[in-house]
Amino acid sequence: MSTADQHHRPRPWLTVLATLLLYTTVAWAAPLDEPLKPLPPPPELDPQRVELGRQLFNEPRLSVDGSRSCASCHQLSQGGADGLPRSLGIKGQTTKVNAPSVFNAALNFRQFWDGRAESLEAQIDDVLQSPIEMGNTWPNLLQTLGNDPQYRQSFTRLYPDGLTAANVQNALATYERTLLSGNSRFDQYLQGNTEILEIEEKYGYQRFKDYGCIACHQGVNIGGNMFQKFGVMGDYFAARGNPSEADQGRFLITGDEQDRNVFKVPSLRNVAVTAPYFHDGSAQTLEQAVEVMFKYQLGRPPNPEDTSLIVKFLKTLTGQWQGKPL
């Protein structure tokens, strides 16, 4: 064999190396087969209706006294919540439960902690007429918006029947459906970038699965798709003390004893930036919240090491909005 032939002859170890590199590249790019899935991109919706909804979301005239808007309790700069155990309504009143994040709310199977609203539109209708939150009526709000030439013209242009309660709800809900906070580090991990998580964050995710947290915090929203009793393995409310009507949860809606202390399982997306936690806002830190879950949902004594690892994992769930981390 000539020197030239030897030079061009394939070398087995190079072939193996090339195959390994190709495999590694493909594996890195391929989505992982995990029970949790990355957030979908925001839906393609009428941009003019989205913009009208954005204006209404920030409109304090939705409340009867012009003091509160949707954005008052759902601040996009604070993870879509307000950082308070319970929010403030009109006339300085305090709401009965903690305000959940508006980010990714469109992916929940029900709205409110007790699940009484089956759609974003129904949730908007409830809040507007709540004597604590907005304290308004639809006839009064429609008159208020109708007196504003900009709103009147916008609804006339975008909806065949103009300014109606249903169309106000639709515009707001259309905007809220765009509030998806994708591209969290965990989303990128699920999409195949396995190097983006640190080893302890990966261990935390494994603990999250091993302990069964994923049995309730599941699906694309990592929660928000089922009801569960708060205190499966112990009486959380007796230990906390000072029971309130809101602690009865879904029982207030159905009257079924099996629904007492039952709530919609919250989404864990952006949980690191939406303290305090639970319907009562009683847990000030993620560590406290995880320890409560260990004790009252799993029936296990809190394990400091595993608590720390799970918290590290939960912090990878913080997504982005308009290209910036929440």
Contacts of 251 (CB under 8 A, 6+ apart): 257, 259, 260, 261, 262
CA 275, CA 4: separation in Å to the nearest integer? 69
DSSP track, 140-170: HHHHHHHTSHHHHHHHHHH-TT-S-HHHHHH
Q: Per the omega criterion (within 30 degrees of 0), is the bond before 38 cis? A: no
Q: Are 213 and 292 in contact (CB under 8 A)?
A: no
Q: Are 154 and 52 in contact (CB under 8 A)?
A: yes
Q: Output the six-digit token pair for 157.
A: 């242009």
| 3-state secondary structure (DSSP) of residue 124 | helix
Q: Which of 209, 250, 214, 232 is nearest to 292 (CA)?
A: 232
Length of the chain, please? 326
In this structure, the dihedral spanned by the alpha carbons of residues 52, 67, 280 and 204, taken in order and rounded to 10 degrees, is: 40
Bridge partners (DSSP) of residue 227 are 264
CA 122, CA 114: separation in Å to the nearest integer? 13
Give, in order, the Cα–Cα distances in Å from 22 to each of 16, 29, 115, 151, 233.
Answer: 10, 11, 48, 57, 49
Q: Output the six-digit token pair for 118.
A: 């089956």
Residue whose token pair is 């290209």: 323
CA 121, CA 126: separation in Å to the nearest integer? 9
Q: What positions carry a catalytic annotation?
A: 133
CA 93, CA 202: separation in Å to the nearest integer? 43
